[in-house]
A and B are shown apart, each in its own frame.
Chain A
């Protein structure tokens, strides 16, 4: 079945450092790919999305490119801030997926120190 694998956390960075969180997926069809962010005590917010191969999603300085050849959707940010501290989830969803559920990775906790 479909699955998503993320790099394990926690990830600790200094402010203004470069961020990469790796995400790879397996899917039977042609999924849409998403990054969600969960701040402490809050729900999941959609950070960015890409619906087909070679699409680049971007938002708030974060970027991820849908790479079909490597089945990857790595999250990057050039300069992180303390306010980026949160848990980040990579996820996929596809039309033929029973129940229309989002398939999530296990989440990567990011901690940014001043």
Chain B
């Protein structure tokens, strides 16, 4: 089944403790991206990657890192999480043509205390 898989689905952590949210897709998509969803603010892009070893900042990149060493994986790294990073995170992927639809994972609900 074609899908974008994120792990974990739920994560509760404390301020400053490094964490990684994994994302993997099995559709051979070139493009991958991370979004966060917050009430009243909608969905905002954090980082994106056009292909392996090519990443760039989205609208809200502060406090996050990403890497794209393999085509299928695009992990999101929070080196020193803070409470304002409590949010619902989505990974998404698509073919390289940028007017094609994005396919989303099921989300990771992160709480930072």
For the residues of B in contact with A, the DSSP-based class is strand
Q: Is the beta-carbon distance between A99 and B104 smaller than 8 angstroms?
A: no
In the complex, chain B residues 56-109 whose Cβ is within 8 Å of any chain A Cβ: 56, 58-59, 90, 92, 94, 97-107
User: With A43-B90, A49-B101 given, is the CB distance from A101 to B59 under 8 Å?
Assistant: yes
- Does chain B have a CB within 8 A of A17? no
User: With A32-B100, A46-B101 given, is the CB distance from A102 to B43 under 8 Å?
Assistant: yes
Q: Is the beta-carbon distance between B101 and A34 smaller than 8 angstroms?
A: yes
Binding site for B on A (CB under 8 A): 30-32, 34, 36, 42-46, 49, 51, 89, 93-95, 97, 99-102, 104, 106-107
Q: Which 9 A-B pairs have the closest CB atoms?
A: A100-B98, A32-B99, A43-B106, A101-B45, A44-B104, A43-B104, A95-B98, A43-B107, A104-B43
10 extra A-B contacts, CB within 8 A, seeds A51-B99, A94-B98: A30-B99, A93-B98, A93-B101, A95-B98, A99-B58, A100-B94, A101-B45, A101-B48, A102-B43, A104-B43
